[in-house]
Structure formats: structure tokens, C-alpha cells
Amino acid sequence: MQVHVADHPLISHKLTVLRDERTDSPTFRRLADELVTLLAYEATRDVRVEAVDVTTPVAVARGVRLSDPPPLVVPILRAGLGMLEGMQRLLPTAEVGFLGMVRNEETLEAVTYAERLPDDLTGRQCYVLDPMLATGGTLAAAIDFLVQRGADHITAITLLAAPEGIARLESELATIDVPVALVTAGLDEKLNDLGYIVPGLGDAGDRLYGVVG
Ligand SMILES: O=P(O)(O)OC[C@H]1O[C@H](OP(=O)(O)OP(=O)(O)O)[C@H](O)[C@@H]1O
Ligand SMILES: O=c1cc[nH]c(=O)[nH]1
Ligand SMILES: [Mg+2]
């Protein structure tokens, strides 16, 4: 798996404010939105395009446009929803599929409670959005959904990743013949005993949308 940790002072600045426990929910949502737009610029470096001619007021120029079918963007509910608009800002013609997943906080196993993806993703380029890659169980299951349906290129965009999650993805992807890339704003130190990223930012879903029981 190709891993790209964003190295840009604006991204680092926004991530620092995002982590701060004093940052309120409206500010957290705005920063997550801004961060994903900056990350999307990096993550779409290899988005598929085709050559076209465009007529300017002066002459014909050679250009490119996004290939058809457009990429599929998949936010993982709940927290991934906070990254959708920021991604659509850069890729407005992308289609959007949804996966609802929640981690069992005792076993740390990911449970899928909603799925709305195209049945056939043969030859599709997919972008998965989830702010946190912790144990990697959620992202591994999401990638599996996409690969089973034929996706042939997957990029995951996260705000924070833990080394344990990257290692798990790398081992699970070893048997998969689909290129997978990870673009993340930060790579943290480790997981704690509860499976939270350290130093992390806490529970991304709760910070975006509030604590649910
Ligand atoms: O890598 P993992 O160990 O699987 O953990 C990461 C997952 O945990 C969080 O979701 P959560 O289960 O809290 O659901 P939420 O988005 O509804 O808050 C986060 O948004 C990821 O989806
Ligand atoms: O640190 C973590 C780990 C999993 N999910 C979160 O929202 N935060
Ligand atoms: Mg959560």
C-alpha cells in the first residue's frame, strides 16, 4: 500500500487546531472540511483523465477532462460524512456511495449497519473517506466491499492514521490484486488500550456530531 503523509504547513496547522480538546463542534466540522479539500488535491493526483481539445478565443488547445465513468466517493458513516462536502468541492461530478460502519467499542470489530453502493464497480476508481484509521478493521472491511464489486483502484483519505492500522491493512491487502493508496494528514504514534489513536483527536464522530448513546 502506498502511504502518503501530507507534509504542508497549512495542513499541519489545521490538524493541530482540530486535535485541540477546546475546539468546538462547528469549528471541528469546518476544519475537517478544509483539510479534506487539501488532502483531496494530493489524493487525486492519479485520477483518471482523457485527452480533449478545447477551443479558446484564440486557437484550439489540448486539455484533459475526467474520464467516464466518474470516480466513486465513499464516506464511511458517521464520521466520514464530515469529509464528503470537502471532497465534492474538488470532484463535483463524482458519484457517492455510502457505508455505515461502527466499531464495537469492546471487541473493536467493525460492524456494517448500512450499505448503499453500486452493485457493479468494475473498472471504477474509488475514494474512501474516514477521518480515523485506528485498528484498521473499518477500512479493511470497506476496501473489501469495494474489491468484491470490482473496483480496480482505491484511495483512502484519512485525517489521522495509527501504525497498527496501516500494518493491518498492509497484511490484509497482501492477497488483493488491486492498488490501494492511503493519503493522511497525520501519522500518529500508537493506539491506547481502548483502541484510540494517541495522541489523536478523540472520537471523530462525537466531535463532529455529538455523543450518541
Ligand atoms: O480503524 P478502526 O479501529 O476500525 O476505527 C476507526 C473507525 O472508528 C470511528 O468510527 P466509529 O466506530 O466511532 O463510528 P462513528 O463514525 O459513528 O463515530 C472512525 O470514524 C472509523 O470509522
Ligand atoms: O482515536 C480514534 C479511534 C477510532 N475512532 C475514533 O473516532 N478515534
Ligand atoms: Mg465514533
Q: Which domains does the chain have, with CATH numbers?
A: 2-209 (3.40.50.2020)
Q: Ligand 2 centroid to 89 CA: how many Å?
A: 25
Are β-strands 190-191 and 180-187 bridged in parallel, bridged antiparallel, or unpaired?
unpaired
Pairing of strands 72-77, 95-96: parallel
Please tell me if the CB atom of residue 197 comes closer than 6 angstroms to any atom of ligand 2.
Answer: yes
Which ligand 1 atom is at minimum distance from the Cα of 165?
1
pLDDT of residue 212: 81
Q: Does the CB atom of residue 31 touch ligand 1 within 6 A? A: no
Asked if 80 contacts 39 with a C-beta cutoff of 8 angstroms, the reply is no
N residues, the chain: 213
**Alpha-carbon gap, residue 60 to 158, rounded angstroms:** 40
Which of helix, strand or coil describes residue 213? coil
CA-nearest of 133, 123, 119, 48 to 83 is 133
CB atoms within 10 A of CB 100: 16
10 CA to middle of ligand 3, Å?
26
pLDDT at residue 33 in the model: 98
User: Any alpha helices (H) in the chain, and if so which ranges?
Assistant: 9-19, 25-43, 84-90, 137-148, 163-173, 204-209
pLDDT of the chain along its 213 residues, tens only? 999 999 999 999 999 999 999 999 999 999 999 999 999 999 999 999 999 999 999 999 999 999 999 999 999 999 999 999 999 999 999 999 999 999 999 999 999 999 999 999 999 999 999 999 999 999 999 999 999 999 999 999 999 999 999 999 999 999 999 999 999 999 999 999 999 999 999 999 999 999 887
Q: Is residue 153 within 8 Å of residue 195, measured between CB atoms?
A: no
Answer whether 158 contacts ligand 1 (Cβ < 6 A): no
Classified as helix, coil or strand, 82 is helix
* Locus of grid cell 464528503: 84
| Residues less than 5 Å from ion ligand 3, measured at CB | 203, 205
Question: Whole-prediction pTM value?
Answer: 0.97
Which segments are annotated as binding site for 5-phospho-alpha-D-ribose 1-diphosphate?
78, 103, 130-138, 203
Residues 38, 10 contacting (CB under 8 angstroms): yes
> Hey, which residues are catalytic here?
103, 107, 203, 206
- Does the beta carbon of 132 lie inside 6 Å of ligand 2? yes
Nearest ligand to the CA of 198 is: 2
Rounded to 10 deg, the angle between the 163-173 and 137-148 helix axes is 30
